[in-house]
Amino acid sequence: MSVRILALVGSLRAGSHNRQLAEAAVKHAPEGARIELFDGLADVPFYNEDLDVEGSVPAAAARLREAAASADALLLFSPEYNGTMPAVLKNAIDWLSRPYGAGALVGKPVAVVGTAFGQYGGVWAQDEARKAAGIAGAKVLEDVKLSVPGSVTRFAETHPADDTEVVEQLSAVLAAVQGRAGEAAAA
């Protein structure tokens, strides 16, 4: 059975280290897993119930929901902005949480990882993303974590896909997500 994992990156910056970390996940996906890097979070409007009307949901939000609904699991990559997750990632979680009780995240395995410049690698933001995803109905993998500190210096000349330690840790995360997604699909 092939497992499809949707990757959402909470940074829109072209040179984002979290985007690079997601690219590393795609490159190092374990056999039997396919990681799809979602492009288009910048196009999703801020969540507004007035826009979330059946038959007229904005195209970008509908595409996000479809991608998440068809995935077996999600992997969220979060930098840390002022001690919390970026608005673009929170907005994605908000869109995926609706309709209430039946959103695209309900019951899906979700892991949160990331990198940030600070000494803790963005753990506060990642904890906030786990909390929001859990409230949205996801089956948050609380024991599957990766926070890479010092991103600006660590990845100044090395792509995360070429950092042996990061690849090893990321591979463990990917194997765990793949395993949980397989368990959820078999249940």
What's the DSSP call for residue 107? T
What is the C-alpha to C-alpha distance for residues 73 and 111, in angstroms, rounded to an integer?
8
Residue with tokens 């963005």: 122
The strands making up 109-115's β-sheet, listed across from edge to edge, are 33-37, 3-9, 73-77, 109-115, 139-148
The tens digit of pLDDT for each residue in 86-107 reads 999 999 999 999 998 899 999 9
Per-residue pLDDT reduced to its tens digit, 45-54: 999 999 999 9
Whole-structure pTM over 0.95, yes or no? yes
Residue 73 tokens, joined: 């699991």
| All domains of the chain in start order, with CATH | 3-186 (3.40.50.360)
Instruction: Please state, for a pLDDT cut of 90, what percent of the chain lies above it.
Output: 93
